Every structure is written in C-alpha cells, then in structure tokens.
Amino acid sequence: MTIENIADIEKLIRLDNKDPSYKGMLFEALLHADVYILASTEYVANANGPEQVPANEDRPPDVNDTHLAITLWEDSQGNAAIPFFSSVEVLQESIETEETYVQLGATELFELTIGTNLILNPVSDYSREFSTEDIERILAIADE
C-alpha cells in the first residue's frame, strides 16, 4: 500500500477505530510517515552536570551535546504519554499556546521512545493511542 499523503493516515486511523482489521495497514503506513512532536532541543552545558541551555542561532544543534526534551501529556487512563501529530495543522489545532515542535520519521520516534505510550493526534477526531506493545509490533514490521 502506498500512502499518497498524510490524509491517508488520518483515514486509516478512522477505519482502525471502527474495524481492527485495518491495524496492520495503519502500522505499515506509519513506518513511512513523518510525524511531529512537541519538543525542544537543549544543550548539555556541562558534561559533568545536569544544567541544560536552549539551542539558538549562535550555537546550532550538535548531535554530541544535545538533548531532545519531549513534552508529555496524559493518556485516557491518566498515564504519561508522548503526543505526536500527523501534520503541523493538527498539531497547531491541538495546542493553546505557541510551542516548539520537531519533525521526524515515525520509525525514529518509535525507536527513541521504546517503553513509552504514545498518542497520535490526541485532541482530534482521529486520535489513536499506541501502547508499548503496539510500538513493538510496528518496529517488528520495520525489521521484516
């Protein structure tokens, strides 16, 4: 299945919510999608201490000394979960104040956050929660 645009993922979420037989198609589509998370890049100011300072134009991010501070929300059971979004538009509709965000591949997000629950499009009509087991299944598909 080829995903032509992000609207296809949103359609698959709706279909999966009504009929679980679409779960595999949704998982496959996510493997090839870019998603957006609420996060900021911070520098480790002192390798021997916990202090961090925001990244800025004067000091662009460097993979060796940066930390991605990901925003957590609550899932439907009140547990910590990472919200992620299928488009910038859905992200912007989901927040009340201006926040920084990062675009990355969904597979990269899943690999970075193993062991954490995630919520796709948490305040939209096409929202879906992903348990740690769901993420493991998605990553297993990626390894095939």
Provide the residue type at 70 as one letter: I
Residue 1 has pLDDT above 50, yes or no: no
Q: What is the mean pLDDT of the chain?
A: 80
> In this structure, are residues 121 and 94 in contact, taking their beta carbons and an 8 Å threshold?
yes
Contacts of range 93-96, beta carbons closer than 8 Å, 24 or more positions apart = 93/123, 93/124, 94/121, 94/122, 94/123, 94/124, 95/38
- CA neighbor of 84 nearest in space, from 138, 29, 133, 36: 36
DSSP letter assigned to residue 125: T
Residue 14: how many CB atoms within 10 A of its CB? 15
Residue ranges of domains in the chain: 6-38+72-143
What is residue 51's three-state secondary structure? coil
6-38+72-143: CATH architecture: 3-Layer(aba) Sandwich (3.40)
pLDDT at 3: 44
User: pLDDT (tens digit, 9 = 90+) per residue, 52-92?
Assistant: 555 454 554 454 555 678 888 988 888 889 999 998 999 99
pTM greater than 0.85: no
